[in-house]
Structure 1
């Protein structure tokens, strides 16, 4: 569906050359929801603009729907863009137009007859859950409703790819969940490929099949969301995963326990899928003469299955602790000893 090969994008400034995207290789499958996560300045916004030809790469090749878009003519690029739509963080609606007129706008540009436009707009209003609001203006809508208009407008020309540029970061958590549920529904009902960029791991967790982590213009880690949650390799990925699996209170508790039990060990257990339902902790306490404190526990759900973390403080004989860790690993539960520094 989408292939990026050795893609780089450089910008020349008075201060010198900025490498926004640095030798990125990605393959995005048809019909999946693919997440690209990174902090500000990571290069993710530039990358998504490369996917619909709003930016041209300095080097490399981009293929979308079997069309190599890095060297085609402007006329052919416009045809490709009709099948690659985008929704934005701040909605980008036309404030002087009603909901229906905003949704109809790309159809007008494409020369679709008036009657066909009206039929399509009605379908889209129902699809995104805005029945009865076709005559409203954007100023009369909530943030979530505005984004629903943006989604409907992006779907007007029946695209095959939907690009989402921080589409929920301006919304409150409850509205974010409703928009993400809508995107999942659209993906399943229409078979639409969705590429979503964000700086929030909760968004990746809820909606994405696979994820690429960007830092300094590079993709530093990539994989199935559940696998990345289970075993993040790069420091930045671990930071993102901790947004979901840990909290500030747990971190303070960890620090306090390090001071109280300098000879004990803090162990992070990672459960995936059916492992989240196993009584690992009760077995551990029964089989080993150890003092076990639960620091923090959490179970999250991704599109690929459940993901759980449990942080334990274990105090006792060093050999017994090592045997306990070996026992946990034998249950196919990933363990990580949290450093005491």
Structure 2
């Protein structure tokens, strides 16, 4: 569906050239929700704006639905952009137009007849849950309602791709979740490919199938979300993942736990999918002559399943402890021994 090959974007400034995007390679399949995460200045906003050519790449190839976007001009580019909807952090609504008129605006530009525009806007108002607010102005709407208008407007021309540029970062947590649930619903109903950029790992783990992590203009890590959560490779990825793998109430480091439990073994267990519900610790206590203390843990629910971490302290004869650890590994649970007696 979408292929990026060695995409670069270099800006010229008084102090010299600035490389905002540096050699990005991505493959995004049709119907995927693909998340791009990074902190401010990572280059993610510049990257997403190159998908629809709001920014022109300095070099490289951007292919969307078998079309090389960088080579399109004039009418061809306008038609291609109609198939790529976009929603923004600050909504970008027309404040002098009602909800219905905002949604109809791209259809008006495309030359769609008034009766068809009205019919399409009515469909979209129902889809995004804004029935009864058709004649309201943006100033009369909540943040979540404004973003729903933005989503409906982006869908007006029946796009194949939806770009989301920090679409939830201006919203409170509860409203963010409702917008993310709407995006998942749209993805499933319409088979729409969704690309979202964010600095919030909550957004990625809530709805994304795959994720790319950006830092200093480059993608430093990418893969399906469960794999990235289970085995983050880069320091920045570990920093993002730790927001959900470390218990918020405790957040003690392995070193602190080792200091508190100098004898025995401090072990970090990683569970994915069905493993989060298996009675593994109970079975260890029943079947092996060891004592087990649960120190801290947390389960996060991802789009592709559940992911959890658990820190335990296990003590006993060394041979028996090793048997217990072997048993845990055989249950497809990640095991990291953080301290040995």
Q: What TM-score, normalized to structure 1?
A: 0.94
Structure 1 position 161, deviation (Å): 0.4
- CA drift at 1:231: 1.6
Q: Distance in 1 between matches of 2:266 and 2:51?
A: 44
Alpha-carbon distance in 1 for matches of 2:22, 2:325? 40
Task: Name 1:178's counterpart in structure 2.
Answer: 178
Superposition TM-score, scaled by structure 2 size: 0.94
SS at match of 1:95: coil
Identify unmatched segments of 5+ residues in structure 2. Answer: none
Please say if residues 250 and 295 of structure 1, whose CA atoms lie closer than 8 Å, have aligned partners that are also in contact: no
Q: Whole-Å Cα distance in 1 between the matches of residues 289 and 234 of structure 2? A: 35
Deviation (angstroms), 1:190: 0.9
| Count of residue pairs the alignment pairs up | 340
Alpha-carbon distance in structure 2 between the residues aligned to 1:174 and 1:31: 26
Q: Which stretch of the first structure deviates more once superposed, 198-207 or 246-255? A: 246-255
Residue aligning to 1:18 = 18
* Structure 1 segment 190-209 matched on structure 2, within 5 A: 190-209=190-209
Q: RMSD of aligned C-alpha atoms?
A: 1.8
Partner of 2:156: 156
Bigger mean CA deviation after superposition, 146-155 or 15-24: 15-24
The residue number in structure 1 matching 2:117 is: 117
Quick one: distance in 2 between partners of 1:335 and 1:93?
50
| Alpha-carbon separation, structure 1, partners of 2:26 and 2:232 | 18
Once residues 7 and 103 of structure 1 are traced to their aligned partners in structure 2, the CA distance between those partners, rounded to angstroms, is 32
Q: What does residue 302 of structure 1 align with?
A: 302
Correspondence 1:147 to 2:117: no
Contact 1:50–1:56 (CA under 8 A) maintained in structure 2: yes
Unaligned runs of 5+ in 1: none
- When residues 25 and 52 of structure 1 are mapped into structure 2, their CA distance, relative to the original with a 3 A threshold, is same
Structure 2 Cα separation of the partners of residues 253 and 4 of structure 1: 39
What is residue 267 of structure 1 aligned with on the other side?
267
Q: CA deviation at 1:320?
A: 4.4
CA distance in 2: counterparts of 1:130 and 1:288, whole angstroms: 58
The answer to whether the 8 A contact 2:264-2:339 is kept is no
- Whole-angstrom CA distance in 2 between matches of 1:70 and 1:338: 50
